[in-house]
Structure 1
Amino acid sequence: MPGAGADPAEVTAFLNRGFGEAIGLEYTELSADRVRAQWKVTPALYQPWGIMHGGVHCAVIESLASVAASLWFGDRGHVVGVNNNTDFLRATRDGVLFAEATPVHRGRTQQLWLVTVTDEQDKLVARGQVRLQNIAETSALGNG
């Protein structure tokens, strides 16, 4: 992944392979201390009752926290999410939503990030916390 200070368009292209592209997530700021992104709410993101699916919030919150945590951890290894706790506060049918990840705790073995989602009127739509494990020995990932 491109590092902190990289061009947001370059990072968006790198990260939006598959699921990120389906959501339409566009990264607008990237640093080890804050990551921001935005996306447009479309009918493709609706649940059956015509509002955006809460899983989109969970996915965006996980994505921003993971990118931010990875930027901070840098070349020391990888990070993996181990808990995502997301609160849905306001239903959304259209418009652009904005997400911002900021650190709560960055330690030797774990990180905790807060991600807020606001609408175009700066009203809080969702918020979440993601706890991530710092993995220095990356060859152990996925091996039981």
Structure 2
Amino acid sequence: MNTTKILEKLNSLNKNTLMETLEIEFIEVGNDFVTAKMPVNSRVHQPFGLLHGGATAALAETVGSSASAVFVDTNVKVVKGIELSINHVKSKKEGTVFATAKAIHKGRTTHLWEVRIVDEEENLISLCKITNIVLDKK
């Protein structure tokens, strides 16, 4: 697994997307995980100056869906998220959050990922679960 090439490809796909708007950057890939980071600033705040739950959910879905795509042949398969659940456990005003998707189940047609979103001090910000379906490309 050439992690440098995988990270370059994942980050290149962000151009002109929500991921670019949220400044999401993939930073690490392993045999069973993918990690990305997102700055916490006014772009991702809700009206009270805290990290918006929707931005956190977008980060979680981005990392979880991308993780499935890393581990299938995207020349013949397509990955689509079919369920996302997220619990927000701590607020964040500024800094950076890091989302790591770890495989719980990687089947032929469904993948289940746990996504932990933490801050710079490893404080848990949100805990997520994402289910992806893996379909044949048409």
User: Secondary structure at the residue paired with 2:48?
Assistant: coil
Displacement of 1:50 = 1.2
Contact 2:27 2:36 in 1 (8 A): yes
Contact 1:32 1:68 in 2 (8 A): no
Q: Residue 77 of structure 2 corresponds to which residue in structure 1?
A: 77
Q: Residue 58 of structure 1 corresponds to which residue in structure 2?
A: 57
Displacement of 1:14 = 2.2
Displacement of 1:106 = 0.7
Displacement of 1:9 = 4.1
RMSD after superposition: 1.7
User: Secondary structure at the residue paired with 1:90?
Assistant: coil
Q: Residue 33 of structure 1 corresponds to which residue in structure 2?
A: 32
Could you tell which deviates more after superposition, 61-70 or 22-31? 22-31
Identity of aligned residues (%): 24
Query: Which is richer in strand?
Result: 2
Q: Residue 14 of structure 1 corresponds to which residue in structure 2?
A: 13
1:6-45 alpha-carbon deviations (Å, 9 max, x no partner): 2524431322432001111111112451101111101111
Unpaired segments ≥5 residues, structure 2 = none
Contact 2:6 2:70 in 1 (8 A): no
User: Secondary structure at the residue paired with 1:15?
Assistant: coil
Unpaired segments ≥5 residues, structure 1 = 140-144
Return the letter of the residue paired with 1:88: H
User: Secondary structure at the residue paired with 2:59?
Assistant: helix
